[in-house]
Structure 1
Amino acid sequence: MKKLIIAAIIACTSLSAMSQTADLRKKIEVNGSAETEITPDEIYIAISLKEYFKDNNNKKRVTITELEKQLQTAVAKAGIPKEDLMINNVSGYTDYWNQKKDPNFLASKQYKLKVKDLNSFNVIIAAVDPKGIASTYVESYNHSKITQLKNDLRVKALLNAKDKASALASALGDKLGSALLIQDLNSDYNVQPMYARANYALVAKADAAGNEAEMSDIDFKKIKLQYTVNVTFEIK
């Protein structure tokens, strides 16, 4: 008999504990989203310069030093800080033995240039001897206010979720309470943008005979940033 009483007490205690811990609040769960489009304002361009000979006898060499001065001058005229032009790599520039063994050896030098848009790069690269440019391409990109933009989108997504939940609760004659759970459903990575035009690198190569390179409006297509949150609200 005592055993039955003890068992009954334990059962009642368990049920009481369960009733105390169970969340009996009415809740609603919704997703909220927000998006925007931005154009990168920090674009990093890789530029490779290479020496070449002006004549067929390989005696009149256009050196890396000359080409680099042209690039530095163009960068300065464009109003870009000199620290935004960096050296990425040097190939044979100081290789005394290769130059001594082979008088026809042509040194090359790679740079990284930070610009706000491709149009300014277009102007800069057009001021450099096109025969001395081996290649140019976009190495990476960013936006100076990317962190703030992402945080703003998260807030907008949260407010969007609140509006949805409020409308649904109102339709049932209820009022929306506080947020009980907020989940950020974003992996927080950037999508590589496409380019509005692909001929930005061709300006440097356009007409090695000396004709003026045709300039064009060049820019990135806008990048879409999208954020989604999942929110659980209490309904009163």
Structure 2
Amino acid sequence: MNNNKFFGLVALFVLMAGVGQAQSTQDKELVKKIEVYGKAEKEIIPDEIYFSVTLKEYIGDDKRKVEIDKLERELYNAVRKIGVAEEDFQIENVFGYNYDQYWRNKKKDREDFLAQKQYRVKFENLNNINRLFEYLDPKGIQHANISEYSHSQIERYRRELKVEALRNAKEKAEYLLLGIDEKRGEVLEVQEMDNDYQQPVMYKARSMAMMDMAESGGMQAPQIDFQTIKIKYEVRAVFKIL
């Protein structure tokens, strides 16, 4: 075979391959498809509420210090009365500060050292937070807040919502195509969008507020601005049009 015939065959092969590739690309471009977004959301009441409370020693009206051990026993007895399991009551931190005389005289006196302890309590019901304060000395509370919250079945709810969001996208594609007398085909692409869930409750109380309530007639259950956890998921789906 001479060189002219050889190069001629090569050129013919390249031409046929190019035509085939162009035809394949054209076929892909001719695929009719529809892109939709599916959504699903659910509101749930948190059943895992982590409450942080800091107790502090203080100087009483009789000029005597109320020890941290006494305040700790009160807290421990309170959570037991409410029904909190022992493993759901933990010490988070131990620290302290010096009373005014320390700062004035630049000396450390044991009577002027007011210890603090921070505790973490896990509740299953928000109402138990109010019940907790019924048993505590308000002057011994330095700070309290909800540090974390969740639901024991949160992962199961998330999985269910992802499936529901995709079903929503499928239904949306079907009724949109119904308006142009077309039918939905197989799914070509699925993309999960950024999703998260919202904070349900905000609770914060500081020592001065606690002391004000005590001086005005005893400790009252603080009001909690409560909302449910809202879990929301969104997916992008592309379906073939038959």
TM band (smaller chain): 0.7 to 0.9
Please name the residue that 1:53 is paired with.
Answer: 59
Question: Hey, which of these two has a bigger chunk of helix by percent?
Answer: 2
Is 1:66 aligned to 2:74, yes or no?
A: no
Structure 1 residues 107 and 217, CA, compared in 2 at 3 Å: closer, same or farther? closer
Q: Which of 136, 139, 143 is the equivalent residue of 2:147?
A: 139
**1:179 offset after TM fit, Å?**
1.3
Structure 1 residues 131 and 213, CA, compared in 2 at 3 Å: closer, same or farther? closer
Please name the residue that 1:149 is paired with.
Answer: 157
Letter in 2 for 1:120: N
- The answer (yes or no) to whether the contact 1:39–1:220 under 8 Å persists in 2 is no
**1:91 offset after TM fit, Å?**
1.2
- The answer (yes or no) to whether the contact 2:50–2:122 under 8 Å persists in 1 is yes
Letter in 2 for 1:125: F
Question: Hey, which of these two has a bigger chunk of strand by percent?
Answer: 2
Letter in 1 for 2:142: A
Q: Which of 173, 189, 193 is the equivalent residue of 2:196?
A: 189
Is 1:167 aligned to 2:175, yes or no?
A: yes
SS of alignment partner, residue 208 of structure 1: helix
- The answer (yes or no) to whether the contact 1:117–1:219 under 8 Å persists in 2 is no
The Cα RMSD (Å) is 2.9
Q: Count the aligned residue pairs.
A: 227
For residues 114-129 of structure 1, the aligned pairs below 5 Å read 114-129=122-137
Structure 1 residues 119 and 38, CA, compared in 2 at 3 Å: closer, same or farther? same
Structure 1 residues 102 and 215, CA, compared in 2 at 3 Å: closer, same or farther? closer
SS of alignment partner, residue 47 of structure 1: strand
Higher gyration radius (CA)? 2
| Greater shift in the superposed pair: 215-224 or 164-173 | 215-224
1:70-129 Cα shifts (integer Å, max 9, x gaps): 111110111111211111100159xxxx99843221111111111123321111122111
Identity %: 38
| Greater shift in the superposed pair: 99-108 or 82-91 | 99-108
- The answer (yes or no) to whether the contact 1:35–1:226 under 8 Å persists in 2 is yes
Q: Which of 65, 81, 87 is the equivalent residue of 1:83?
A: 87
- The answer (yes or no) to whether the contact 2:134–2:220 under 8 Å persists in 1 is no
Q: TM-score, normalised by structure 2?
A: 0.81
Please name the residue that 2:11 is paired with.
Answer: 7
Unaligned runs of 5+ in 1: none
1:43-78 Cα shifts (integer Å, max 9, x gaps): 21111101122245x4x3221111111111110111
Q: TM-score, normalised by structure 1?
A: 0.83
